[in-house]
Amino acid sequence: MTRTGPGPAGAPAAAPAGDAPTGAAAGPGWPAIEPLLRAAADEHWLARAVADLGLDRVAEVVVEELAVRCDPVPVDGAAHLAFELTSGGERACRLLTVDRDGLTSKRDGWQAAPVRITHDAVDLLRGLYGPGTDRRTSRRVTTCAELNALGPAPGGLTAIVRERQRLAVAVQAVVAACQRHPVDLGGLSTRFGSDKWADLHWYTQHYERHFARFRNAPVRVLEIGIGGYDAPDQGGASLRMWQRYFPAGLVLGLDIVPKPGVRGPRIATAVGDQGDPGLLDDLGRRFGPFDIVIDDGSHLNAHVRASFTALFPHVRPGGLYVVEDLQTAYWPGYGGTVGPVAGPGTSVGLLKQLVDGLHHREWVPPAAAPGPSYADRHAVALTIYHNLAFVEKGVNSEEGAPDFIDRGWSAPPA
């Protein structure tokens, strides 16, 4: 549960929206990574994108991505590796440090590293961001120092062998990060500190079922609610989880509090109140259309309804709009209804309205002008779990029952 608007506990009023989301790169959106993602399905265009962006900037993008994908290694101390990208006659190098906290990088010091991993830039980017069915053998070259190049060292040969083992584990972690492999969303949730699994909720099993078809696609994901309350560098656990789960996805987070400290190579953040329809519409126009929108914001029922109305038009056909924490439809402090039936103005009331709209061609009498709403015409499926709902976007164009079937009603005489 994440606050993104004025809540029942006296949360502050909405901050003004910024001109652009803040992310790992300067400027609106994801200026460095986006052209690489768009070109990743075709080697020719990917090579053009690398040339346009410059190999040094591409190297920055790649090592930021590897930091997201590299799992911590179960060894004491740190291993240092040289990582080299090549393209034509150019090369760009970075020093990678791998330890129990994961992977970090810097520009200097790579010359002295005992191991060097070299990748063709286009080949590596194709593997990182290209079609999920692409399983070609990488053109990686790994060069390791000889044993005597590591000595002399305190502890003699035993210390050298341990260092070699530490390097081997680190090399494997980096090589694995360069390849695409399945990850468990529940495990990612607990690793990054999201409450979507084994904490307040048990959502990830349902997310995996509904998001499977998007897994390797270049999706755009918007999540309302970043977390961390007023702290500018706190929160973002779910954004990091989605960044790792969708290897070619772009992730945008919206919160009422500025979050400049929540960063990632494919993460950007925006500031604003989820109850402001104009702001949400502008957000959708600038950074959509979205394949997935997740409302994990204030969970005030009025906000849930306002956000859906404003953002559902900015979901792609075939995309999903997700509403979390439906329990607040029964909590008065959030605008919910006391008792076993949620009122029409609640989030559950919204879902009931969507079910009715899905069947608008069966209404008796037929809908009066101006006819069915946008949601009635474009919500094509609803799946509801405990406190969690998925709404699928499409074209609700199926005809109703034929006219000759008696509906038990006739129009009043003119």
> Cα(116)–Cα(171) distance, rounded to whole angstroms?
9
Give the separation between CA 384 and CA 381, rounded to whole angstroms: 10
- As a dihedral over the C-alpha atoms of residue 115, residue 121, residue 124, residue 127, rounded to 10 degrees, the angle is 180
Residue 278: what are its φ and ψ, rounded to 5°?
-65, -45
* Distance (Å, whole) CA 327 – CA 42: 46
Residue 157: CA count within 13 A, CB half-sphere: 0
Tokens of 133: 């069915």
Assess contact for 250 and 34: CB atoms under 8 A. Answer: yes
Integer Cα distance of 303 and 19 in angstroms = 22
Q: Are 113 and 106 within 8 A, CB to CB?
A: no
| Residues 6+ away with beta carbon under 8 Å from 38 | 45, 49, 218
Cis peptide upstream of residue 152 (ω within 30 degrees of 0): yes
CA nearest 63: which of 34, 25, 106? 106
Looking at 201, 206, 299, 303, which residue is catalytic?
299
Of how many residues is the chain composed?
Answer: 414
- The encoded tokens of residue 126 equal 């194709």
Annotation marks residue 119 as catalytic: no
Token readout for 20 is: 């652009």
Tokens found for residue 209: 């079922």
Cα gap 366→363, rounded to integer Å? 5
- The residues carrying an active-site annotation are 299
